[in-house]
Chains A and B, each alone.
Chain A
Amino acid sequence: MHGVLSLPRKSSAAIGLDRIVMMGAVVSLVILVVLPIGSLLLGSVKSEGGLTLEFFREALSGRLYLQALLNSLILGSWTGLFSVVIGLPLAWAVSRTNVPGKPLIRMTASLAYLSPPFLTAIAFVNLFGPNAGLINKLTRDVLGLPWLTFDIFSMSGLVLVTVMHTFPFVFLLASGALQSVDASYEEAAQILGAGKWRTAFTITAPLVAPAILSGTLLAFVNSIALFGSQAIIGLPGRIVTLPTRIYALFDYPPEYGLASALSLVFVLITVVALFVQRSYLARRSFVTFGGKGSRPQLIDVGPGRWLLLGFAVVVFVVAIALPYASLIAVSLSKSWGLDFWKGLTLQNYKFVLFEYDVTRRAITNSLILATLAATLAVMLGAIIGWIDLRTTIPGRRLLDYAALIPLGLPGIVMAVALIQFWLAMPLALYGTLAILLLAYTGRYVPLGVRAANASLRQIDPSLEESARILGASWGLTMREVTLPLIRPGLFAGWLLVFVPAIQELSASILLFSSSSITLAVAVYNLYETGYTEPVAALAIINVVIIAAAIWLAGQLGGRDTQKVGYASA
């Protein structure tokens, strides 16, 4: 043989880089997720005298706790139902009809999803607060129609505000399914003599039903976990839910055991819903993605398309235009009221940006936290995804499941778990930015895993194998082949974490201290203390940061940011 270039010899003793990286990921996941969950479980049954079921007994029989549980279930059910009522017609209109203004509908859904839900809640309080709400004032005092007033501090108010954030789940999953149903399924029914409606009900509807149900369950799970709107709308209306009840248990003296038990009840609901969603979708997923099946033809709905457009416009106005317009108006007014336009000012922005050091600190903290958490979650996700898809290490499925656990953890439960764990540790993390970073990274690791998984699945392993056979080490293969190929997906994943992290409230509310205060907590605290106008200014700043991040990621990543969001937050 001649002409063979020899490969550099490797020292056989050294531990491979791949081992180190993988071990690091496993250890991180244990610290972020497994140990906190473990101490949550332990905390719920541990008392001074040993093990006890007292906390669970109290959580499942105390009137306060049962009421909170019931309210959460009522909220989740109505929200799920109305998410379908709003999301499904819009999805059908966009994917199957000749309705005009499709970009508007898609944009409405994206914006509704990306908007911080507690901001919508605050905006609706400004409009529909029973006494000071602008629209209520207008109808009662100016128009003299008191029966037209709407009290936002009620279950219907809470459902309204929550649905504005959750209907995009149904919209996205349903429109995706409606677009991916292979047209030949419907054409086959047609040629056998079935008309449009019969085809729609006997063929199309059963095919997309799993996706709709899945979206509904995601809407349910997400709605009951939102601390912000439930505190802002629910508490004044005396509607206490699980997150707000758990939050109250941390008033002095904190009742850790009861909070842990109640958290686990909460987790159980979420996990059952997610389990049903996953298993149902996995078993009955008929929708064929990709493929060369022809696209379904659009239905001409005639004058009905103006009706659909009208519906979409109403949703746009209620979910986007009204809250944002009112927030902007409030943020620019001296004093919010019917004659707010008489004293327009930038003073509120000046106050929150330059004068009030708490908000300035909060903005800096949130930017740091969101950036770090997004980066860590995506890195961790990439490694875990790679282990799951590319290795045969025993227990890799377990790792994958562990990384998905946080999906079933409402933010406030994550916070309770972290408190339980780190209070028992010699390391004083409570009240620092570090514990918030752990909370964010842990909460959003599933999004990182999912983004990495989706990208890795699209890359044939042979691309990596051909680098290895040419003599490239694991590290070199990752750097030269794998990472460049999955970069766009990781970018999307990064944004997927950054957006909810910059507006995170549910976990932060229990974990912050005055030095580690975050943007959303600052908004909430300002609101609680009654600073209506500066709150609006800070809220607008929050939204501007989110928009800037999406824009920046779009510039850098070059991929459509339309895909971002949704999956689950």
Chain B
Amino acid sequence: MAGVTIKGLSKTYGAASGVAAVSDLDLAIRDNQFVTLLGPSGCGKTTTLRLIAGYMAPDTGTIHVGERLVSSKGSVVPPEDRGMGMVFQNYAVWPHKTVFENVVFGLRVRKVPAAQARNLVEKTLALVGLSGYESRLPSELSGGQQQRVALARSLVVEPKILLLDEPLSNLDAKLRERMRIELKQLQRRTGITFIYVTHDQAEALALSDQIAVMHAGHLQQFGTPADVYGRPANRLVADFMGHVNFVTAKVVAANNATSTILVAGTLKAEVALPAGLKSGENVDVAIRPEDVILSGSAEGSPDRARGEVLEHTFLGNINEYFVKLTSGEQLRVQTHPKHQFKVGEAVLVALDTAHISIFAPSTTGTA
């Protein structure tokens, strides 16, 4: 088993364009972890994965697997000598080989004796729930089954590291959810380091030990799902991880751990400020819809702001509202489904101050 250490990694496609796909990336992936590279398309996550696999050479920087240097400028250990596994977005299950032939391929390359190979293939197919499908051709399998074949093909050779490039994006919602759980269990059981690429933040939150959020070739934040969701490093991360309200606020009293800010001119909140902010300065506040608390106007309370419900959407497990504050700002709010307000109703608005994030206005994120 091994971790992956990436230092100063950069890759630019087509020297002329000059736009870096990956730029000065540092990432230390520990052994035995489920790590997700998350970001919108074009953020450099797939390029990073292909650099780790050795399909391309970096322009600068190095990649170590354990202690072994596998990639640096001008010197790349080819993919076939890395002992990794990879599951492709389109599965890349060879259409001219049966399920058995697909899965046994890596064992044949490793010259595993036939009887032992057969045994290993059968065990791995059982692991992914495809026992009895050995002699089928890929064209006779559903998308989900092909996906399992791809997985079995990678797992049977017991790689130290398994790379997965959006492996669930071609599956329907139900199957995707089930495979999510299976993948996570598989990682726990095998102890293989999973490096997983996706643009789906819910998938990343559900699966990962660590998430690396990328944008425009740069790493924005590397941390646990709770960190990345609850304490985003900048506006980009906050914005990418689900819905968020961005509101400006003014610092009323700067006192480190318990500073007071006035959100949208009406909402007072006690928060911890980033260092170096002084009284009177403006800050950006990111508030998740579930951290806004609504109550009926009758319940009156001095530190609550007044607002009016503009829009109500019932989503089954939650209610979603758009609330207009007296200052004119609009907030997206999510409440428990039984907690209902009518459109046009006057409400009182409070914030769960422990969960709001505060950024100095300049931190736009392309650090």
Contacts and interface: CB of A to CB of B under 8 A. Distances in A.
A192 B96 contact: no
Contacts of A185: 92, 94
A184 B90 contact: yes
B95 A187 contact: no
A198 B92 contact: no
Interface stretch (B74-82, B241-249, B339-347): B74-82
Contacts of A38: none
Interface stretch (B16-24, B102-110, B117-125, B228-236): B102-110
Contacts of B94: 185, 188-189, 203, 207
Nearest to B88: A184
A59 to B, nearest CB: 41
Pick from B86, B89, B92, B105 the residue with the most CB of A within 10 Å.
B92
A191 interface: yes
A193 B106 contact: yes
Contacts of B163: 191
Contact of B105 (A187, A189, A284): A189
Contacts of A193: 80-81, 83, 106, 109-110, 157
A195 interface: yes
Nearest to A202: B105
A430 interface: no
Interface in A273-312: 284, 286, 291-293, 297
Nearest to A184: B92
A207 to B, nearest CB: 6
B326 to A, nearest CB: 42
B314 interface: no
A292 B90 CA distance: 9
Contact of A198 (B55, B95, B109, B150): B109
A206 interface: yes
B153 A192 contact: yes
Interface residues of B, number: 27
Pick from B86, B89, B150 the residue with the most CB of A within 10 Å.
B86
Contacts of A191: 53, 79-80, 82, 84-86, 154, 163
Given A191-B79, A193-B80, A293 B90 contact: yes
Contacts of A202: 105
A205 to B, nearest CB: 10
Contact of A194 (B53, B83, B90, B105): B105
Contacts of B150: 188
A131 interface: no
A291 B95 contact: no
B50 to A, nearest CB: 9
A190 B79 contact: yes
A182 interface: yes
A446 B88 CA distance: 40
Contacts of A297: 55
Contact of B153 (A187, A188, A291): A188
A187 B96 contact: no
B346 to A, nearest CB: 40
B90 A192 contact: no
A188 B92 contact: yes
A544 B105 CA distance: 54
Pick from A182, A202, A292 the residue with the most CB of B within 10 Å.
A202
Contact of A192 (B55, B89, B157): B157
Contacts of A187: 53, 55, 79, 86, 88, 92
A280 to B, nearest CB: 13
A293 B95 CA distance: 15
A286 B85 CA distance: 23
A293 B110 CA distance: 27
A293 B53 CA distance: 17
B96 A190 contact: no
Interface string A194-227: 1100100011001100000000000000000000
Pick from B80, B83, B84, B86 the residue with the most CB of A within 10 Å.
B80
A192 B80 contact: yes
Interface string A158-187: 000000000000000000000000101101
B96 A284 contact: yes
Given A191-B85, A192-B105, A286-B96, A291 B90 contact: yes
Pick from A188, A195, A202 the residue with the most CB of B within 10 Å.
A188
Contacts of A182: 90, 92
> 8 closest A-B pairs (Cβ-Cβ)?
A192-B106, A184-B92, A193-B109, A188-B92, A190-B79, A286-B95, A184-B88, A191-B86
7 contacts: A187-B86, A191-B154, A192-B106, A194-B109, A203-B94, A207-B94, A286-B96
Interface of B: 53, 55, 78-86, 88-90, 92, 94-96, 105-106, 109-110, 150, 153-154, 157, 163
